[in-house]
Amino acid sequence: MNPFSGDQIVQVTNPDPFAKPVLRSPVLHTPVWMIAVAQLARLLWRLGRFIARHPVASVIVGTMLTTWRYLGWSGPTALVLVLAVIAAAWRRFWPASWFRLVAVPMRGRCRRWRYLRDWVQVMTVARLVIASRSHLLVPVLGPVASTGCTDRLLVRMVAGQSPEDFGKHAVNLAHGLGALTCRIRTAPPGHVIIELVRRDVLTAIIPALPIPARCDLRSLAVGRREDGLPWTVRLHGTHVLAAGSTGAGKASLLWGIIRGILPALQDGTACLLGADPKGMELAYGRALFDRYGSYESDPAAITVLLEDAVTDMQHRAARLAGKRRDHTPTAEHPFTLVVIDEVAFLTAYQPDRKLRERTLAALATLTTQGRAVGYCVLAALQDPRKDVLTIRNLFPDRIAMRLDEPEQVDMVLGDGARDRGALADQISPDPATGAGIAYVRLADDPDPVRVRAAWVSDPDITAMCREYSPARPPLAAIEPGAAA
């Protein structure tokens, strides 16, 4: 009995009864009409998919073929001229929608075609191709979002891969795909985003940004991101910690944020409190602060300032309790920004132990209770060690400028930040090319973003003090229990 199925294997007749039987697969002759129907169905399916994915292009091609059929070559030529005029007018009068609907998608598709040429080769050399028993499994390149400076590639990983596998070969991917740097970003399950930086727009110093006509405390422009978009900082509803060694550009960041809230200072919906242990940096723009404290003038001045801010915050919380859940800046209850230039001196290097403990307690209270009632602490420091600032986890948003050691990156931005591409220890110490450059990690986004703060010069600060001043009385002049 033949152990093989007759539908799969046939035995070839051999005149020699003692010869070994030869088993061969049967040859099935498919009718020609069946092959034609299958090919036609496949062609129609591909045509339908193309029309569904590219409806505008399909309409244009159909219109051109129709005009060519009835009008000859003059029809398509006239149609192309009309479309060119419409595109030029769209680009001229509605640039935002043009870039969103036309320029950006077209640029992404062109970049995707460029990457597809070397995709298999790069994935193979980077050891991201998985070999199975019968074939190779290659990660699939999806849509590409391009900004002109960076490309974000959505990649569907092979089952069993993880984003860490791509992160280990980020350097290989950067060189293979022709980019300056490569970073791996989080994506939906089963996918990974490869961010490629093709052009560094942060090499030149950024001059001070224009003072906005209206202050948006949830999106304050202070510089530029690596992808060419504006870098905005959120103040309302959070606290910000900036760390960087000497000369990293922390002063430009502080003054850039202050510059952005000047309209709110002028109309009285915001106020500034300045704690300047060195008595140098914030003193240059002292006229902008509702209240200012310096260790040089009085060792206890900063501690008293912070404790008064806590008292004022608690009075405001008592007034708003049961009336509203979210703070809205008004002249009666203004947004209060507490700027501390060198917080490490207050929490670790302060020689007076009692003042150090009082200061740390006030800061802990402000950072745990102040967000809901319109208080924000903006602190800068040089030494990011845990024993220097024990409450750094109370700052949701963190900024790492140039640091001295690789371990300090994770101290500031959190565990794993450097593996995700936050190379703050490799920022150039040259003021022309590295001052103001930083990596930002927000509370709701674990992926660090490379940015550069605009440089606010001494003449800019002088002009700010001359043209803007708080419209409300200083905080020290308000009686306890009065309007906050």
- Better-predicted residue by pLDDT, 430 or 480: 430
Measured in whole angstroms, the distance separating CA 351 from the mean position of its chain's CA atoms is 40
Percent with pLDDT over 70 in the chain: 91
Distance CA 90, CA 98 (A): 6
pLDDT value at residue 267: 87
- Which of 153, 161, 152, 170 is closest to 190 using CA atoms? 161
pLDDT value at residue 16: 66
Asked which of 78-92, 233-247, 361-375, 451-465 is least confident by mean pLDDT, the reply is 78-92
Task: Report pLDDT digits (tens) over 26-37.
Answer: 667 778 888 899
pLDDT over threshold 90, residue 443: no
Name the helix (H) or strand (E) containing 375.
Answer: strand 375-381
pLDDT value at residue 334: 92
pLDDT value at residue 10: 47
Task: Report pLDDT digits (tens) over 340-354.
Answer: 988 888 888 888 889
CA atoms within 13 A on the CB side of 171: 2
Which of 199-203, 297-301, 362-366, 474-478 has maximum average pLDDT?
A: 362-366
Q: What is the mean pLDDT of residues 175-180?
A: 92
Name the helix (H) or strand (E) containing 474.
Answer: none
Side chain identity, residue 345: F
For residue 68, count other CB atoms closer than 10 A to its CB. Answer: 15
- Better-predicted residue by pLDDT, 418 or 387: 418
**Residue 480 near residue 313 (C-beta atoms within 8 A):** no
**Residue 313 near residue 375 (C-beta atoms within 8 A):** yes
**For residue 275, what are the contacts with CB-CB under 8 A and spacing of at least 6?**
282, 293, 302, 305, 306, 338, 339, 340, 341, 343, 346
* pLDDT-derived band at 467, boundaries 50, 70, 90: confident
For residue 309, count other CB atoms closer than 10 A to its CB. Answer: 23
* pLDDT-derived band at 209, boundaries 50, 70, 90: very high
Instruction: Tell me which fold the domain 220-477 belongs to.
Output: Rossmann fold (3.40.50)
Phi, psi of 409, deg, nearest 5: -65, -50
Helices (H), 72-200: 74-93, 95-98, 104-117, 119-125, 163-167, 170-176
**Residue 183 near residue 141 (C-beta atoms within 8 A):** no
**For residue 256, what are the contacts with CB-CB under 8 A and spacing of at least 6?**
208, 209, 222, 223, 453, 454, 456
Distance CA 328, CA 330 (A): 6
CA atoms within 13 A on the CB side of 30: 7
Distance CA 21, CA 12 (A): 7
pLDDT over threshold 80, residue 322: no
Distance CA 443, CA 386 (A): 19
For residue 81, count other CB atoms closer than 10 A to its CB. Answer: 10
Looking at the structure, give the CATH architecture of the domain made up of residues 103-197.
2-Layer Sandwich (3.30)
* pLDDT-derived band at 66, boundaries 50, 70, 90: confident
Parse the chain into domains and list their residue ranges.
52-93, 103-197, 220-477
pLDDT over threshold 70, residue 482: no
Asked which of 31-40, 55-64, 128-137, 410-419 is least confident by mean pLDDT, the reply is 55-64
Phi, psi of 379, deg, nearest 5: -115, 145
Q: What is the mean pLDDT of residues 165-175?
A: 90
- Which of 283, 303, 428 is closest to 358 using CA atoms? 303
Name the helix (H) or strand (E) containing 146.
Answer: strand 140-146
Tokens, residue 202? 């942060």
Q: What is the mean pLDDT of residues 88-111?
A: 86
**For residue 163, what are the contacts with CB-CB under 8 A and spacing of at least 6?**
157, 184, 186, 187, 192
**Helix, coil or strand: residue 76:** helix
Global pTM reads 0.76
Task: Report pLDDT digits (tens) over 217-233.
Answer: 999 999 999 888 899 99
Measured in whole angstroms, the distance separating CA 121 from the mean position of its chain's CA atoms is 29
Tokens, residue 439? 């990596």
pLDDT over threshold 80, residue 262: yes
**Helix, coil or strand: residue 184:** strand
Domains 103-197 and 220-477 agree in fold: no
Q: Mean pLDDT of all residues in the chain? A: 85
Distance CA 327, CA 325 (A): 7
For residue 190, count other CB atoms closer than 10 A to its CB. Answer: 11
Measured in whole angstroms, the distance separating CA 270 from the mean position of its chain's CA atoms is 27
pLDDT value at residue 52: 84
For residue 126, count other CB atoms closer than 10 A to its CB. Answer: 20
- Which of 229, 230, 228 is closest to 149 using CA atoms? 228
pLDDT value at residue 418: 84
pLDDT over threshold 60, residue 483: no
Q: What is the mean pLDDT of residues 357-380?
A: 93
Tokens, residue 170? 């980020």
Q: What is the mean pLDDT of residues 185-195?
A: 90
Distance CA 213, CA 465 (A): 17
**Residue 456 near residue 254 (C-beta atoms within 8 A):** no
pLDDT value at residue 14: 56
